[in-house]
Amino acid sequence: GADGSVGNFVTVWQRQSDGSYKWVMDQGAALEPEAPGPDMVQARVADCGTVGSAELEEASLGDPHYYGASLDRRLRWTAVVDASCHRQVTVTGIFDGEQVDVVSVSVPASEGEKCPPRP
């Protein structure tokens, strides 16, 4: 940030019927300053809608508090929040016909963070 803070961010975008994109999951957390990160943002596009691709296996994270999937279920995201506001965010998709965890991030609660209500 402008104040010198650093963090990680995971955003899942979904294409809408009119061709535009809308974010359906956005997660970020402050991190301790470390070595400089990559100069480019990493992005991947799943094989959604590809004939012959297998559907994802069921997630094994337990009962996610927040989750979503593409209409064809070839891209899925989960965010599990525990009582201390610790988050485990995972994005899994089908890439080149194989199931891949694209992102799996464990995010500790920030100091003073208020946990969202548990479902």
pLDDT in tens, 40-99: 666 777 666 644 434 444 444 445 577 888 887 888 888 887 777 788 888 888 888 888
In a domain, 37, yes or no: yes
Predicted TM-score (pTM) of this structure: 0.63
In a domain, 16, yes or no: yes
Per-residue confidence (pLDDT) for residue 18, from 0 to 100: 92
CA distance linking residue 97 with residue 74, whole number of Å: 10
Per-residue confidence (pLDDT) for residue 36, from 0 to 100: 63
In a domain, 115, yes or no: no
Note down the domain range covering 73: 6-107
In a domain, 118, yes or no: no
In a domain, 112, yes or no: no
In a domain, 39, yes or no: yes
CA distance linking residue 82 with residue 86, whole number of Å: 6
Higher pLDDT, 37 or 75: 75
Per-residue confidence (pLDDT) for residue 87, from 0 to 100: 82
Contact 52/97 with Cβ under 8 angstroms? yes
Which residue type does 3 have?
Answer: D
In a domain, 99, yes or no: yes
As for how many domains the chain has, the answer is 1
In the chain, beta strands by DSSP E: 6-15, 21-31, 66-69, 75-81, 87-95, 98-107
What average pLDDT does the segment 100-106 reach?
A: 85
| Closest to 78 measured CA to CA, from 100, 110, 103 | 103
In a domain, 116, yes or no: no
